[in-house]
Amino acid sequence: MTRSVAIVGGGIAGLLTGHLLQRDGHRVTLLSEQRPDDLRNGPIISTQCVFGPRLRPERGAGLAFWDDTAPVIANGRLSIWLEKQCVLDWSDALLDSPAQSVDHRMKLATWMEALNDADGATVQHRTVDQIALEALTAEHDLVLVATGRGCELFRRNDELSQHTEPQRQIAAVYLRVPDHAGDVDTIRWSIVPGAGELLVVPALTFTGPCHAVVVEALPGGPWDVWRDRPRSGELWERIRELLRDVPREHEALAGRTLTDDRAALSGAITPIVRHPVAVLPSGRAVLGLGDAVVTNDPLTASGANSAVTAAAMHAAATTEHTGAFDAEWMQRTHDAWWTAPGGGRDATTVANTMLNPPPQLLERLLSSTNDHATLRKFTGIIETAEDTDWLLSP
């Protein structure tokens, strides 16, 4: 049964849902305030590491355009550093299936053009306000809202939201990879208790392979040094300085330069869970997905990965449904994703647990050097967001 679906927002949540629905034969209108060239010429948005199991929906939709060029992330490495000494070093944590990170500036721009070219789909470039949203609900069978974090249309769920403030000050840069760089297939995660965390993700950008580096600084800690939002070059200088606390990364990233002058971002995100259904003054309802509804800190790479699971499940539920897309169906569809193994609730648990890891988890990690089963279990939870009870068990 062909339905008419409007999707507001051209991030990974909106675009992947749009492609999956188009593939299933629906008429799709996607509304994005950004054009493909706005994305390409804009600043970096994310480090967008998508784990192997989460790449399936985009492959299924014929959107895996970078499989031959993007670095294959097959390994994980987790280190804990105290006073510049490495007290835990887990290397060669093979991922279940390779992960991939393609600069969202390229990926989303290409997906947007592909959707506009696809039969039965159009992309319109405009900002959708409440009046326009009402008009969309009158014209379409279903309206999905995937406008990213800070979407006040959906009310905060006080019961499920743990935080009222950002838990980290975040900075990210993309760095060129010299020919001799090792570990280009490894995502590296370093924890410095009391300061924050550092992630180094092999990625693909316009200039070719790069390392996407994210620093998560504990508020008020020694790494909390970019609240004045410095320009890209200055931001990289400050990150380089604090890398002295992680000597191996300080050495590995020495002499690196930014891939381009827009390859830097800094900011802070308040993790939040919102009610997924908004009823408009007309009485018609819209369903939210992606960061618009559940925003987590990027520490555990859960945002894009969760958006992918939501896109796949919401698209499948839309295709299966033959009745009206009322508020009840919307809530049911969201709840199925929220409670699914590895779904929204589990991803939120992983993110919030690693933001404030319980002492017994850190002790368990520290006492498990060379314990391959523990290493596999931990990386498996980050990859799939499943079995989250393990993180909290004594």
Q: Are 80 and 367 in contact (CB under 8 A)?
A: no
State the DSSP code for 167: S
48 binds ligand FAD (CB under 6 A): yes
Q: Is 36 in the site for ligand FAD (CB under 6 A)?
A: no
Our CB check for ligand FAD shows the closer of 57 and 290 to be 290
> Which of 170, 217, 350, 391 is close enough to bind ligand FAD by CB under 6 A?
170
In the complex, the smallest distance separating the C-beta of residue 200 from ligand FAD, rounded to whole angstroms, is 11
Work out whether 167 is an interface residue with ligand FAD (CB under 6 A). no
Percent helix / strand / coil, the chain, rounded to 5: 35, 25, 35
The upper half-sphere exposure of residue 65, i.e. CA atoms within 13 Å in the direction of its Cβ, equals 14
Candidates 57, 290, 342, 380; binder of ligand FAD (CB under 6 A) is: 290
What is the distance between the alpha carbons of residues 356 and 320, in angstroms, rounded to a whole number? Answer: 40
Q: Angle at the Cα of 291 (from 95 to 125), degrees rounded to 5?
A: 115
Residue in this structure with the two tokens 């500036």, named with its chain if needed:
105
Indicate which single residue of 22, 29, 32, 79 sits in contact with ligand FAD (rule: CB under 6 A): 32
Least Å from the CB of residue 187 to ligand FAD: 9
Please give the full DSSP string across 287-323, using - where no structure is assigned.
EE-GGGTEE--GGGS-HHHHHHHHHHHHHHHHHH--S
Nearest approach, Cβ of residue 186 and ligand FAD (Å) = 14
For ligand FAD, which is the closer residue by CB, 87 or 316?
316
CB of 265 to ligand FAD, least distance (A): 6
Nearer to ligand FAD, 127 or 393 (CB): 127
> Toward ligand FAD, which CB reaches closer, 312 or 364?
312
For residue 350, what are its two tokens?
A: 């992983």
Question: Strand, coil or helix: what is 334?
Answer: helix
Minimum CB distance to ligand FAD smaller for 86 or for 131: 131
47 lies in the site for ligand FAD, by CB under 6 A: yes
- Residue of 17, 22, 29, 46 that binds ligand FAD (CB under 6 A): 46
The yes or no reply on residue 31 touching ligand FAD (CB under 6 A) is: yes
Binding ligand FAD (rule: CB under 6 A), the pick from 14, 18, 71, 202 is 14
Query: Backbone phi, then psi, for 252, in 5-degree steps?
Result: -65, -35
**CB of residue 220 vs ligand FAD: minimum separation in angstroms?**
20
For residues 174-193, one letter each, b for 16 or more C-beta atoms within 10 angstroms of the residue's C-beta and e for the rest, the string is bbbbeeeeeeeebbbbbbbe
Told to check if 298 binds ligand FAD by CB under 6 A, we report: yes
Angle at 353 between CA 265 and CA 87, to 5 degrees: 80
Count CB atoms within 10 A of the CB of residue 351: 24
Among 114, 115, 123, 128, binds ligand FAD (CB under 6 A): 128
**Going residue by residue from 250 to 289, which x/- string records binding to ligand FAD, judged by CB under 6 A?**
----------------------------------------
How long, in residues, is the chain? 394
* Structural tokens at position 318: 């839309």
| φ and ψ at residue 193, rounded to 5 degrees | -55, 135
Closer to ligand FAD by Cβ: residue 148 or 344 = 148
CB atoms near residue 145 (< 10 Å)? 28
Considering only the stretches 8-16, 136-144, 249-257, 384-392, report the one whose residues sit in contact with ligand FAD under the rule CB under 6 A: 8-16
The binder of ligand FAD chosen from 69, 97, 127, 130 (CB under 6 A):
127
CB nearer to ligand FAD: give 35 or 321.
Answer: 35
Instruction: Output phi, psi for 276, to 5 deg.
Output: -85, -10
Q: Is 303 in the site for ligand FAD (CB under 6 A)?
A: yes
Q: How many C-alpha atoms does 242 have within 13 Å on its Cβ side?
A: 26
The verdict on 34 binding ligand FAD (CB under 6 A) reads: yes
Tokens 């018609």 — which residue?
284
- Side by side, which strands form the sheet with 4-8? 121-125, 27-32, 4-8, 142-145, 285-288, 277-279
The contact pattern for ligand FAD, residues 176-215, with x = CB under 6 A and - = no contact, is --------------------------------------x-
Q: Which residues bind ligand FAD (CB under 6 A)?
A: 8-14, 31-34, 46-49, 127-128, 146-148, 170, 172, 214, 290-292, 298, 301-305, 307
